[in-house]
Each structure stands twice: as structure tokens, then as C-alpha cells.
């Protein structure tokens, strides 16, 4: 049965932790290498990723393309409007056909329901590259970035200011998984998905909703913003007017904790949802965040191809251990079998 990465909800917390750890490990191992160099273990050699786009993309397209190449595989870029899918072929038939040609599909789609239907019909892994409901790959990159800059996620306070959109939905999904609290400041009519909020709270996640941006950022370790007008929105003037009080200004950032960091998934519109002094200032991590789309998604891709194991154990440094029939023998340091396969197994230590 194929492993899909459609949302953070169904992925156990231990496996999400292992994905982050693997992303950081792979990133560190590439330090100083040309960007086109294949990772030394080439874990996805011979695999082909189809990237299917219904929406325009910069970061998603380039990061997935380079990611699969660095893992040893290759990619095909597909625009929905250029396929029979754009002329009435069903999502399900498209999924079944592509499953015969490629090894995995990443979809950047208008409707989340279409990605779910695609995954249900596919016999290969399907990854959500963005939908109207969620953006799980972005949040994995965001959390990697925060940890790299010294933030302990468990117990941290993250503030979201602006529209309660698909990106904040994935932050809500992540909150109970990683143990951070989430403060969400939105105007009336722009609140996040209520079902997501209630589910997170039911899983012991702390989600606080505010109508005042200053209250939302008070005590925050991180402040996050996103564009006020997304692709497909047809009420730009209305949205800009109603959300203008939620712009992240230098004054608003000053109400967060000292040393608070700023995130934005980009593209940004300086002067609308954030002032230039914030996004271009020392507290901003937006370009590290953008880079980490590459590393986090490589770890997601690798996770999608991992098969479950029936044992769990450690090996002494310098020993050899075969973890999975699909993997090569490798020299091991402080091994925990990959991706939460049993109990506390949360990651691997390959060099």
C-alpha cells in the first residue's frame, strides 16, 4: 500500500520528528557541495517523480525538482491544463495512468478533495504540494528552520497574524504533534478552519484565537504572516481593506518576545501583510525557510518510499546493519531504525 503525504494529521508525531531529523542530517551532509551533486547514498536512484501543477509555482517546483535529483532520481513536470485532465479526464483515471509510468506524484492543486481522490486511486505515493486546505510541506520546512535557529519547539509560542488560510491550517495540525502553542490573530470572517482547531485541542494542542493582532503576538517566540490575497481570490480590494490592520509592522513585532523570529512562506508583498523593515530585517528567516523547502521535502520523499520494519535496535558506531531490503549496506553511527517503525524508533544515523 502506497504511503501518501497529504496532511500532517495522519502521520504519527514520531515519524514527523524523524522526517525533520533526516532533513537536517541530509542538509548538513551536503555542506559545500554543488547543488547538482547527488547525495552519496542516492536513496531514490531510478525513481521518477511527476510534479503536477494546477497553480503557478516557484519554490514548490524548483525545490521538488532539485530534491528528487539530489536523492538520485528524476522528475517530470506536468501542467494540468496541458493534459487530458484539463479536458475532462477524471482525477481517478489520471492517477491510475500515472501510477503505471512514474514512482510518485507531487500535486499542487486548487481543491484538496481532488488530491485525496487522486491518492485513493493511485498505487504510488502522492504528496500534497499545496491545496486550498493545507500546505504540510511548507510547515515541515518552517519547523526545520526554527529548530536550526535554536528554538525548542516543545513549549514554544508561535503567532500567526492575518488570514486563517491553508498554511495556518497546517500549523494547527502540527501544534499537538510537536508541542508548541499557536496564537492566531484574524479579523472577523477570516478565522481558521474550526474543525481543525477543535481537533488540535482534542489532541492536547493549545490553539488560542484572537481578533487583536497585538494580543496574538504578545509573548510569541515566532511571528508568521502570509499574503492577504492568494491565487484565485477575486475580492482583492475587500481583503486588503479588511486585513490591513493585521500587517506585521516593526511596531507589532516589538510586542512579541525579545529576539522573536519572523517567517513568511513567500511570495511577499511588502507594505501589505508585512513591512520591509520586518521581512528584510535581522529577525527574518524567510530565505532560510525557502531553502529548507528543498531539504524537508527530500526527507518527505524518502519517507514515502520507506517500508515498515519488524524489529528495532541500535548498532555500535562503525558496525554494519541492513535496515531494509531496499537500502544498501551502510556504515552506521548511533542507529535508530527509520521513521518511527516501532515504538521509539525515530530516525537513522547514516553517514
Residue 84: which residues within 8 A CB-CB, separation 6 or more?
94
Triad 272, 273, 275: Cα angle to 5°: 75
Please tell me the distance from the alpha carbon of residue 194 to that of residue 200, in angstroms, as a whole number: 10
Residue 148: which residues within 8 A CB-CB, separation 6 or more?
24, 288, 292
Please tell me the distance from the alpha carbon of residue 261 to that of residue 279, in angstroms, as a whole number: 10
Please tell me the distance from the alpha carbon of residue 58 to that of residue 309, in angstroms, as a whole number: 36
3 state DSSP class of 339: coil
Residue 316: which residues within 8 A CB-CB, separation 6 or more?
none
Please tell me the distance from the alpha carbon of residue 149 to that of residue 288, in angstroms, as a whole number: 10
Q: Which residues are catalytic?
A: 108, 135, 138, 226, 265, 293
Residue 300: which residues within 8 A CB-CB, separation 6 or more?
5, 19, 127, 137, 140
Please tell me the distance from the alpha carbon of residue 187 to that of residue 243, in angstroms, as a whole number: 7
List b or e across 76-104, with b for residues whose CB sees 16 or more CB atoms inside 10 angstroms.
Answer: eebebeeeebeeeeebeebbebbbeebbb
List b or e across 149-172, with b for residues whose CB sees 16 or more CB atoms inside 10 angstroms.
Answer: eebebeebbbbbbbbbbbbbbbbb
190 and 242 Cβ atoms separated by less than 8 Å: yes
Amino acid at each position: 500500500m502506497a504511503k501518501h503525504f497529504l496532511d500532517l494529521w495522519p502521520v504519527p508525531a514520531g515519524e514527523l520528528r524523524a522526517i525533520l531529523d533526516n532533513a537536517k542530517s541530509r542538509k548538513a551532509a551536503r555542506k559545500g557541495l554543488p547543488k547538482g551533486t547527488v547525495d552519496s547514498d542516492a536513496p531514490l536512484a531510478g525513481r521518477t517523480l511527476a510534479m503536477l501543477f494546477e497553480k503557478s509555482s516557484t519554490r514548490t517546483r524548483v525545490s521538488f525538482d532539485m530534491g528528487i535529483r539530489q536523492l538520485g532520481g528524476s522528475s517530470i513536470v506536468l501542467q494540468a491544463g496541458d493534459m487530458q485532465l484539463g479536458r475532462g479526464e477524471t482525477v481517478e483515471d489520471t492517477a491510475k495512468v500515472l501510477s503505471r509510468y512514474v514512482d510518485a506524484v507531487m500535486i499542487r492543486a486548487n481543491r484538496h478533495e481532488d488530491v485525496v481522490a487522486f491518492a485513493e486511486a493511485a498505487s504510488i505515493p502522492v504528496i500534497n504540494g499545496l491545496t486550498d486546505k493545507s500546505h504540510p510541506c511548507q510547515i515541515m520546512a518552517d519547523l526545520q528552520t526554527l529548530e536550526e535557529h535554536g528554538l525548542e519547539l516543545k513549549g514554544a509560542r508561535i503567532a500567526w497574524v492575518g488570514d486563517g488560510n491553508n498554511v495556518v491550517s497546517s500549523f494547527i495540525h502540527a501544534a499537538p504533534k510537536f508541542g508548541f502553542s499557536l496564537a492566531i490573530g484574524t479579523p472577523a470572517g477570516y478565522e481558521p478552519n474550526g474543525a481543525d482547531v477543535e481537533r488540535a485541542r482534542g489532541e492536547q494542542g493549545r490553539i488560542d484565537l484572537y481578533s487583536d493582532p497585538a494580543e496574538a503576538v504578545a509573548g510569541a517566540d515566532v511571528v508568521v504572516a502570509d499574503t492577504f490575497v492568494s491565487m484565485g481570490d477575486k475580492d482583492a480590494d475587500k481583503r486588503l481593506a479588511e486585513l490591513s490592520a493585521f500587517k506585521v509592522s516593526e511596531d507589532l513585532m516589538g510586542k512579541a518576545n525579545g529576539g522573536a523570529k519572523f517567517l513568511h512562506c513567500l511570495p511577499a508583498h511588502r507594505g501589505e501583510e508585512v513591512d520591509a523593515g520586518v521581512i528584510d530585517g535581522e529577525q527574518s528567516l524567510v530565505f532560510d525557510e525557502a531553502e529548507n523547502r528543498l531539504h524537508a521535502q527530500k526527507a518527505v520523499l524518502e519517507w514515502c518510499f520507506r517500508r515498515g520494519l519488524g524489529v528495532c535496535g541500535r548498532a555500535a558506531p562503525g558496525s554494519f546493519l541492513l535496515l531494509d531490503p531496499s537500502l544498501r549496506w551502510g556504515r552506521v553511527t548511533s542507529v535508530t531504525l527509520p521513521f518511527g517503525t516501532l515504538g521509539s524508533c525515530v530516525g537513522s544515523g547514516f553517514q
